[in-house]
Amino acid sequence: MQNPMPLALPDLQAAFAAHVAGGDRADLAAAVVGDSISAEARLRIYRHHVAYSLGSALAATFATVHALVGEAFFRSMAQRFIGQTLPTQPVLTEYGAGFPAFVAGYEPAASLPYLEDVARLDWALNVAFHSPADRRLTAADLAGIAPERLPSLSIAVPAGTALIGSCYPLHRIWNASQPGASAEAVDLSAGRANLLVLRRADDAAFIVLDAGEAAFVASVVEGTSLEIAAERATSAGPSFDLSTAFARLLALEAFAAPQQKLGDGPLKAPG
């Protein structure tokens, strides 16, 4: 029997990626040298190792999802995701951006409709944690601004910041899944949640916002002036008070520091 033609490098790489994702290829096995174990066995070992490593990386990134569904369910779900979506870069903390959307369509998790939002929160916390811990906007930065100019200013949120909205009490679900939490059941009908995820000095965390604050932050993210952001916030939450909300968010370091010293020009802050 004639030996198969050797695979060109691009074809070899494609075949290897397909094998890792679960598709056996005879032409790939022919390109692998076996010694004490066969080429097929060697490839199976490698595929198992990759699948286990990627599953462990996903479990670390989506720790709340993992805690909610358990090890066996999570491993099964992760393996299905890995078979569809392999990493495109070598940093495993950047792997899993598409996992929340995958969870939304994962039929065995259909009885857990909040799980996609939990996955979105886990991913946002991961992104925030690995973002630079840049300086935040403080009252001192605003001290030189004339009060009449403040409404026209545009500010920004820090790198890695995310606004997560859910029709479920996402913060309570997250808290209940943490180690040492009480076994008290979470009332899923308790109302929606708006969470602002931020990078902290040595961690990432979220802030619970009311409807007005969430609309205000969403408008700030879009780059609108504080005046327009306040108008949108008042429409979303009639009890919204700009002074109170802005002071609270400023104290919580929710805004990025300006890129240059404030003066007579427009306020510039990194996006």
pLDDT digits (tens, 9 = 90+) for 15-35: 666 666 666 666 666 656 666
Is residue 230 over pLDDT 70? yes
Contact 267, 258 (CB under 8 A): yes
Task: Single out the residue of 212, 219, 208, 114 nearest to residue 167, CA to CA.
Answer: 114
Which comes out higher in pLDDT, residue 167 or 7?
A: 167
Residues 86-126: tens digit of each pLDDT: 888 888 899 999 999 999 999 999 999 999 999 999 999 99
Q: Are 207 and 198 in contact (CB under 8 A)?
A: yes
**Whole-angstrom distance, CA of residue 216 vs CA of residue 99:** 28
Nearest alpha carbon to residue 92 among 67, 120, 118, 56: 56
What's the half-sphere exposure (Cβ side, CA atoms, 13 Å) at 159? 9
**Per-domain boundaries in the chain:** 1-112, 132-271
Specify the pairing of strand 204-209 against strand 162-166.
unpaired
Q: Round to whole Å and give the CA distance between 210 and 217.
A: 11
Q: In this predicted model, what pLDDT tens digit does every residue of 189-207 receive, in sequence order? A: 888 999 999 999 889 999 9
For the segment 129-166, what is each residue's pLDDT rounded down to a tens digit?
999 989 999 999 898 888 888 888 899 999 999 999 99
Give the per-residue pLDDT at 2. 44
Q: What is the DSSP letter of 55?
A: H
Section 245-262 average pLDDT: 86
43: alpha, beta or left? (left if phi > 0; alpha if psi -120 to 50): alpha
130, with CB counted inside 10 A (0-12, 13-18, 19+), is middle
- The pLDDT of residue 47 is 67
Please list, in sequence order, all residues whose beta carbon lies within 8 angstroms of the beta carbon of residue 204, skipping any fewer than 6 positions away.
Answer: 125, 126, 128, 129, 160, 197, 198
- Answer whether residue 5 shows pLDDT above 70: no
pLDDT score at 41: 63
Supply the pLDDT for residue 143.
86
